[in-house]
Structures are given as structure tokens and as C-alpha cells.
């Protein structure tokens, strides 16, 4: 923002003065707007001073981001959250980490933010150059036990991170990243977590057209939530999209074996009721909007 004054007193014009606040390259720039204050000289200069004070108060705060952090480095960054906060030395700063977007956002006092951002970047560079990968193969169904909070648990217990392939990929490769002295503990922690719960693969009755019909109905009524609610401690996972290339659809039911067995019986009972009770009908696209939405819920 640029502030300028052009005051007039007793018919005398006064020169324009300007104040500019440079924006660091890391920040998202906003368009600058010239401001002209016209009036008696003392009041014009007073207005300019007030504007400069507003600018100073706004530009003393900043928000900066570190983007595109490598997926295997994100857990290491997350584990050092308290260390990054300590760098602020009590200054006003807020730090947010998005594991999905793989970025860190730091907001607060400009000098403190710059100090924290520099520390985060240095940490990322140091860890990236120090960790090594070890690859193992695990059945795809066990990958579910190595996602979410499990990643944090493995980092806490072994100082290693675990990266699994996207669910839509067929790869069974799991990669454990860590320092040389930690990698053995990381492998142990990953295997322990992958085998920590019983997993039952429940195949939906075929042929595949019927399986898709059953799955559509179960997703529509949020049946996974129903089963999990009836059996606390059990998690139910529906087949991952896309389905077009799949010939068999399995529901994964995860938890302690006794609880999973009870959940399996509940799903089996539903399958018995649905066999022969689902059907696909061709409907002209002109009436699609009529039968979806509120009517679809009915």
C-alpha cells in the first residue's frame, strides 16, 4: 500500500510524500492502492500519520507457507512441532500442518514467522538428506492399519515414517523411512501395527453387476456406520473407487476377532435379505433430476 498526501492551506500546495511497505516474495501479494488525502495541511499530515500507523500495524503480521513437503518427510515435520514453536521464543505465532496438502502455514509477528519458517526449511533439508528407505510387501488390506493415526504412532515409537501407496493403486509396497540407527525399529513398529488387528475380507455376492448394486445400496444407507455403531471397536471399509476394472468387491471389517466375527454375521444377514431384492432400471436422463435429491432420499 502507498499513502500520499496533497494538502492545501491558504492556496498553497504542498509536495506529496509516500510511504511504501515491501512484501517478501514468500507472501501472497495483494494489489496496491494509491491513497490521496486532500485538506488543510495540518489535518492532511495528521491523516497521513494515522494511515501509516494502520499500515505498520497490519504489516507487522504475516503469513507464510512451506509447500510441497515430500510425503515421507511430513511425519518428521509433524513430530517436531514443539521444537518449531520454541524457536518463536514466546513471540506471537500460530503453526498449522496439513498432512493431506503437505504444507505448513505459519502466522504471527513477521520476524518470528520468518525465523520459524527458516527453521522448518532447514529441518526438511536435513531430514531429507539423512533418511533412507526400506521397502516391504504387505497385503493391500493391511495398508488400512498403516494410515491416519498409525503414522503418528510409528513415528513416536521408532522415529520413522511409513508411506503406503494410494488405495486405488494395486501396489502392495510399503516404504519405511528413517535414520540408519532407527530403521530396524521402524520396520518392527510398522509390522506390529500392520498385524495389530484382525481383518476379515467379506466378498460381496456376484456376479459383478450384482456386487455393484449391493455396494451402491450399502453406501447409500451408510451401512458401514451402522455396523460400526452396533459393534464398537470395529471399522468397516467399503471397496475403493474406481470400480470399473474390478471383478470382485470385498468389504474389509477390522477389529478384534470376536467383534469382527459378530459384525460379519450382521453383514451376512443383510446379504441374505438383499439377494434378489436389487435391480437396475434404465431411466431417461430427462427425468434424472426429478428422481434424485429429495425424491431419492425418500
Q: Can you list the domains of the chain with their CATH numbers?
A: 2-59 (no CATH), 62-130 (3.30.1370.10), 132-194 (3.30.1370.10), 198-274 (3.30.1370)
The pLDDT of residue 171 is 92
Higher pLDDT, 127 or 41: 127
Mean pLDDT of 27-36: 67
Q: Does residue 5 surpass a pLDDT of 80? A: no
Residue 50 has pLDDT above 50, yes or no: yes
Contact between 189 and 157 under an 8 Å Cβ cutoff? The reply is yes
Please give the pLDDT value at position 32. Answer: 72
Burial class (CB in 10 A: 0-12, 13-18, 19+), 257: exposed
pTM for the whole thing? 0.68
Lowest mean pLDDT among 56-65, 110-119, 226-235: 56-65
∠ CA 180-183-189, nearest 5°, is: 160
Give pLDDT, residue 135: 96
Confidence of residue 130 (pLDDT cuts 50, 70, 90): very high
Average confidence (pLDDT) over 99-103:
92
Q: What is the pLDDT of residue 241?
A: 65
pLDDT in tens, 139-174: 998 999 999 899 999 999 999 999 999 887 889 999
Under a CB-based contact definition with an 8 Å cutoff, are residues 108 and 61 in contact? yes
pLDDT, average across residues 30-57: 80
Query: Residue 30: what pLDDT?
Result: 57
What digits encode the pLDDT tens for the residues 240-261?
766 666 788 899 999 999 999 9
Mean pLDDT (the chain) is: 85
**pLDDT tens figures, 207-243:** 988 999 999 899 989 999 999 999 999 999 998 766 6
- Is pLDDT at 190 greater than 80 in this prediction? yes
Strand bridging mode 161-163 / 173-178:
antiparallel
Q: In this structure, are residues 81 and 95 in contact, taking their beta carbons and an 8 Å threshold? A: yes
Is the pLDDT score of 6 beyond 80? no
The 10 Å CB-count burial string (b at 16+, else e) for 82-118 is eebeebbeeeebebebeeeebbbbbbbbbebbebbbe
- Taking each helix axis from N to C end, the angle separating 223-230 and 257-274, rounded to the nearest 10 degrees, works out to 140
Reading the block at residue 298, the C-alpha cell is 425418500
pLDDT tens digits for 258-286? 999 999 999 999 999 998 887 778 888 88
Amino acid at each position: 500500500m502507498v499513502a500520499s498526501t496533497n494538502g492545501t492551506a491558504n492556496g498553497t500546495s504542498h509536495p506529496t510524500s509516500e510511504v511504501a511497505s515491501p512484501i517478501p516474495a514468500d507472501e501472497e501479494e495483494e494489489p496496491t492502492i494509491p491513497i490521496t488525502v486532500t485538506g488543510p495541511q495540518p489535518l492532511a499530515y495528521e491523516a497521513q500519520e494515522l494511515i501509516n500507523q494502520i499500515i505498520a500495524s497490519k504489516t507487522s503480521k504475516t503469513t507464510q507457507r512451506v509447500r510441497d513437503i515430500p510425503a515421507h518427510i511430513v511425519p518428521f515435520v509433524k513430530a517436531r512441532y514443539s521444537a518449531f514453536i520454541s524457536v518463536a521464543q514466546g513471540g506471537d505465532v500460530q503453526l498449522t500442518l496439513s498432512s493431506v496438502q503437505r504444507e505448513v502455514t505459519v502466522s504471527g509477528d513477521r520476524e518470528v514467522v520468518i525465523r520459524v519458517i527458516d527453521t522448518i526449511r532447514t529441518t526438511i533439508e536435513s531430514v531429507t538428506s539423512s533418511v533412507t528407505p526400506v521397502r516391504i510387501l504387505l497385503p493391500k488390506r493391511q495398508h488400512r492399519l498403516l494410515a491416519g493415526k498409525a503414522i503418528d504412532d510409528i513415528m513416536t515409537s521408532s522415529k520413522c515414517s511409513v508411506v503406503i501407496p494410494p488405495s486405488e493403486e494395486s501396489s502392495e509396497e510399503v516404504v519405511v523411512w528413517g535414520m540408519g540407527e532407527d530403521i530396524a525399529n521402524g520396520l518392527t513398529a510398522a509390522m506390529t501395527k500392520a498385524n495389530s488387528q484382525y481383518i476379515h475380507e467379506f466378498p460381496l455376492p456376484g456376479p459383478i453387476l450384482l456386487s455393484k448394486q449391493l455396494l451402491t445400496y450399502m453406501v447409500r444407507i451408510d451401512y458401514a456406520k451402522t455396523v460400526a455403531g452396533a459393534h464398537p471397536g470395529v471399522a468397516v471399509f467399503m471397496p475403493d473407487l474406481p470400480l470399473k476394472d474390478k471383478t470382485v468387491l470385498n468389504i474389509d471389517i477390522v477389529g478384534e476377532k470376536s467383534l469382527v466375527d459378530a459384525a460379519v454375521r450382521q453383514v451376512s444377514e443383510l446379504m441374505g435379505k438383499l439377494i434378489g431384492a436389487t435391480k437396475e432400471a434404465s431411466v431417461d436422463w430427462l427425468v434424472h433430476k426429478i428422481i434424485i435429491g429429495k425424491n431419492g432420499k425418500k
